[in-house]
Amino acid sequence: MRRPAYPHYKPSGIEWLGEIPKHWEVLAFKRLGDFQGGAGFPN
């Protein structure tokens, strides 16, 4: 299954990623949400 191509692309600034759709933005993973250490599953 393939999705239709986006009409406009721009360089992502990341060599291995290549071009991305023009309306997307590249963010560091740490900026996508709040993460807490030690808040995992109980044993």
To 5 degrees, how large is the angle CA 3–CA 19–CA 34? Answer: 85
Structure tokens given for 26:
């590249």
Judged by DSSP in three states, 9 sits in strand
Backbone angles phi, psi at 10, to 5 degrees: -140, 160
Residue 13 within any structural domain of the chain: yes
Residue 36 within any structural domain of the chain: no
Report the pLDDT value the prediction gives residue 4, as an integer from 0 to 100: 78
pLDDT in tens, 1-43: 677 789 999 999 999 999 999 999 998 887 777 767 766 677 6
Expressed as residue numbers, the domain containing 19 is 1-25
Residue 20 within any structural domain of the chain: yes
Report the pLDDT value the prediction gives residue 7, as an integer from 0 to 100: 93
Residue 37 within any structural domain of the chain: no
First to last CA, the chain: 40
To 5 degrees, how large is the angle CA 32–CA 37–CA 43? Answer: 125
Count of structural domains within the chain:
1
